[in-house]
Amino acid sequence: MKAFANIHPLVEMTYFMSVLIVSMFFSHPVLQTEALIGGILFCAALQGKKAARDIGFYLTLFLMVAVTNPLFSHNGVTPLFFLNGNPVTLEAVLYGVLLAVTVIGVLLWCKAYGEIMTSDKFLYLFGKAIPKLSLVLSMALRFIPAYLRQSRRVSRAQKAMGLYSGKSITDRVKNQARVFIAMISWSLENAMETSASMKARGYGKKGRTNFSLFRFYASDGVLLCLCLLLFMIPIMGAACGITRFTFYPRVDKIETTPAAIVVYAAFGMLALLPFILEVKEAIVWNCYRSKI
């Protein structure tokens, strides 16, 4: 589960954006199914056994989304049965299922994004555009946990003196307010020392550079090109109208022309790319280990 996380952030960002754009804006059953399968496999590879814990949540959500659409949307020409005098149509049911696939797929991809694109990668990517921003964000990320810890300490110290430590709402609000005021002084005091430490290390001179630990390897370049290529194919497909798919009034047939197959295959490969990388690495590792 390390292979994808160790790629250069620029490639990772491009990759996530490509997949998310297709899975959010293309409502085509094949592409959506591919995105969902890719998302499931990726999350499983990232989290291992922990991923299994969320299955219940996703299944419930899936059913809820899938059921909601036919209950409220009565378009379509093939009624299955009537509920309170309203038709529940096949088209609406199928569209509901597609919506559910889309929602779960996007959720899973966002989860993977959160696991992979840690704050330092984000800062690295956007810090170049706005040099100050990367430092400010980094300082904020440093400050927040320190603030929370100190605020907990003050709260406990006040509690141990029995000041406003009752369970009533007025006591609690008063206590929060007092702690907050004390924390303002603390923050200012802390900021003074931090700024002394910054000045002592030459902050404020002209020509500051931005350092990062990331390196761009040749393999990152290859992957970036591949990723862009696989992304462009569905986009071209969309431009030619291959990926258009409508449910109402009647569900379209899934296209099986060679061009359509190419689009499906390209996006399928894109969606499965991280999983393929993880599997490849696992196999490589096993080979190494067996040689040892």
Partner 1 sequence: MELLQVENLSFRYPKAERDALHQINFSVNAGEFILLCGVSGCGKTTLLRLLKKELAPVGEKSGRILYESKSLNSPEKAGFVQQNPESQIVTDKVWHELAFGLENMGAPTEVIRRRVGEMASFFGIEGWFRRKTDELSGGQKQLLNLASVMVMQPDLLILDEPTGQLDPIAAADFISTLQKINRELGLTILLAEHRLEEVFPIADRVLVLENGSVILDDKPREIGRKLSPCHPMFYAMPSAVRIRQGLETNDPYPLTVREGREFLERNFKGDTQMPTEPKLPEGDTAAELKNVWFRYEKDAPDVLRGVSLKVRCGEVFCILGGNGAGKTTALNVIAGLDRAYRGKVMIGGRTIKDYKGGALYRNNIALLPQNPQTVFVKETVRADLAEISEAMGIPKKEHKNHIEKIAAKLGISNLLDRHPYDLSGGEQQKCALAKVLLSNPKILLLDEPTKGIDAYAKQNLQKILRGLSQNGKAVILVTHDVEFAAEISDRCAFIFDGEILSADTPQKFFAENSFYTTAANRMARGLWKNAVTCEQVIECCRAEGARL
Shortest Cβ distance from residue 174 to partner 1 (Å)?
11
| Residue from 17, 63, 126, 166 in contact with partner 1 (CB under 8 A) | 166
Q: Name the DSSP letter for residue 79.
A: E
Shortest Cβ distance from residue 85 to partner 1 (Å)?
52
The half-sphere exposure of 51 on its side-chain side, counting CA atoms within 13 A, is 15
Instruction: Rule CB under 8 A: say whether 163 interacts with partner 1.
Output: yes
Contact status, residue 230 vs residue 263, Cβ threshold 8 Å: no
Shortest Cβ distance from residue 188 to partner 1 (Å)?
9
Using the CB atoms, write b or e for 215-229: b if 16+ within 10 Å. eeeeebeebbeebee
User: Scanning the structure block, which residue is given the tokens 């802390």?
Assistant: 190
Q: Which of residues 91-150 bind partner 1 (CB under 8 A)?
A: 119-120, 135, 138-139, 141-142, 145-146, 150
Q: Strands, DSSP E only, in the chain?
A: 79-83, 86-89
Residues 6+ apart with CB under 8 A from 143: 190
Contact status, residue 133 vs residue 126, Cβ threshold 8 Å: yes
| Residue from 53, 132, 201, 253 in contact with partner 1 (CB under 8 A) | 201
Instruction: Rule CB under 8 A: say whether 198 interacts with partner 1.
Output: yes
State which residue, 149 or 280, has the beta carbon closest to partner 1. Answer: 149
Q: Which residues bind partner 1 (CB under 8 A)?
A: 119-120, 135, 138-139, 141-142, 145-146, 150, 153-154, 156-163, 165-166, 178-179, 181-182, 185-186, 189-190, 193-194, 196-213
